[in-house]
Amino acid sequence: MAQEASALGAERARRPSIEGEGPAGWLEEVRSEVDAHLACFFDDRRANASRLIGPSEHQSLLVDAIADLTMRGGKRLRPALLVAALAAVRPARSVRDVLAPCASLELLQSYLLIHDDWMDGDLERRGGPSVHARLREQQGESGDALAILAGDLGSAFAWELMLEAAWSSGRGRELTATFARIHQEVVLGQEMDLVGSIDVSRMHRLKTGSYTVAGPLRLGALLGDANDGQLRALERFGIPLGEAFQIRDDLLGTFGDVREVGKTIGGDLRVGKRTALVRELEESVSEPDRAPVVRVLGRAASEVEVEAARRALITTGVRARVEARLESLLDDACAALEGGELSEPGISMLAELAGALTFRRS
């Protein structure tokens, strides 16, 4: 249920705002301010946990595990989306006005990554051990139970931070309702994935789109006391962007550079994942031409077979059509920004993030 994106790098430079190299100044500012706020938060939570568990233990393994994962990386793109949406409705406001909800989104992400990595059996995350892998090393067979607890604690931390923002906001009730809805949507999306739902695009909208794109945008807009027109514009921006984000993920999983993506390329094919590529193949390619791909789906196929499948996805035009769909979604998203409801600086920040989320290499 948890996915990460990189703000760095852009395969193409179709959108003016991503022509530059590397992230803009405001993205760097979001990252460093959010990191500093998180560091303080964890110091405080560590001290609080030590007080609660008393002198017989040194400090909480769980707080350490969450802090380590959260501080180890992540581009803080969800906080950046929140900040950009805020700027789109209140140009004078900056990340410093919304540090608690930004930090909350990162804790939500950590909670989801911890439970998700355990469910998927992923032992690595953000260039280090996943939380259950680390806790197994430290505590043996209790490691898995401790990892589930670490996720539970991360969820409580995320709520604590979001509530801090909600009680100081005139739109607090809507903020917490949105946050509760995000939690539920992510979990239901993950349920759809685990039971093998055939409605893959809906599954992705719930499992990833909600907490990665639509949720942060709505929270930022509410923190800026957005009007209904602004909320609608941001929603029309967020829905196609969330889908485009997922398509990029699918493209990287089959055609990415292993050194940049950090996971085995072709794994999606071998586990038979119903990616955007597979769905396009089924919809537009005749049976015989599908064969090289169908042969590897859900099988421990050899590298030669996977390479043949990859070539078939190119020669049948599937890859190009999926890329065109991504472009078209991105156009839809950017068009939604232009209705006159949102501020110019905010629009340019949002367009830049749209690029970062969909033209990433990892």
Contact flag: residue 130 with a second copy (CB under 8 A): no
Rg, C-alpha atoms of the chain: 21
Q: Closest Cα to residue 210, out of 232, 188, 233?
A: 188
Contact flag: residue 155 with a second copy (CB under 8 A): yes
Backbone φ and ψ of 192, nearest 5°: -60, -40
Tell me which stretch binds a second copy (CB under 8 A): 34-42, 113-121, 235-243, 346-354: 113-121
Contact flag: residue 159 with a second copy (CB under 8 A): yes
Beta bridge partners of 124: 129
Backbone φ and ψ of 4, nearest 5°: -125, 150
Contact flag: residue 122 with a second copy (CB under 8 A): no
Residue of 36, 92, 123, 145 that binds a second copy (CB under 8 A): 145
Tell me which stretch binds a second copy (CB under 8 A): 30-38, 137-145, 323-331, 353-361: 137-145
Tell me which stretch binds a second copy (CB under 8 A): 45-53, 83-91, 279-287, 314-322: 45-53
Q: Which two tokens stand for residue 267?
A: 């794994």
Using the minimum distance from each CB to a second copy, give the nearer residue, 18 or 61.
Answer: 61
Using the minimum distance from each CB to a second copy, give the nearer residue, 172 or 345.
Answer: 172
Site string for a second copy, 183-202 (x = CB under 8 A): xxx-xx-xxx-xx-xxx--x
Q: Which two tokens stand for residue 117?
A: 């990595």
Q: Residue 345 corresponds to which amino acid?
A: P
Q: What share of the chain is helix, strand, coil (3-state, %, to 5)?
A: 75, 0, 25
Contact flag: residue 300 with a second copy (CB under 8 A): no
Using the minimum distance from each CB to a second copy, give the nearer residue, 187 or 294.
Answer: 187
Q: Which residues contact 32 (CB under 8 A, 6 or more apart)?
A: none
Q: Considering CB under 8 A, how many residues would be counted as binding a second copy?
A: 50
Using the minimum distance from each CB to a second copy, give the nearer residue, 26 or 179.
Answer: 179
- The structure tokens 């059996």 sit at 121
User: Least CB distance from residue 291 to a second copy, whole Å?
Assistant: 27
In a 3-state reduction of DSSP, which class is residue 22?
coil
Please say whether the beta carbons of 218 and 234 come within 8 A.
Answer: yes
Q: To which H or E segment does residue 104 belong? A: helix 99-120
- The structure tokens 């180890």 sit at 72
Interface residue list for a second copy (CB under 8 A): 48-49, 52-57, 60-62, 115, 118-119, 139, 142, 145-146, 148-149, 151-153, 155-157, 159-160, 163, 167, 172-173, 176-177, 180, 183-185, 187-188, 190-192, 194-195, 197-199, 202, 206
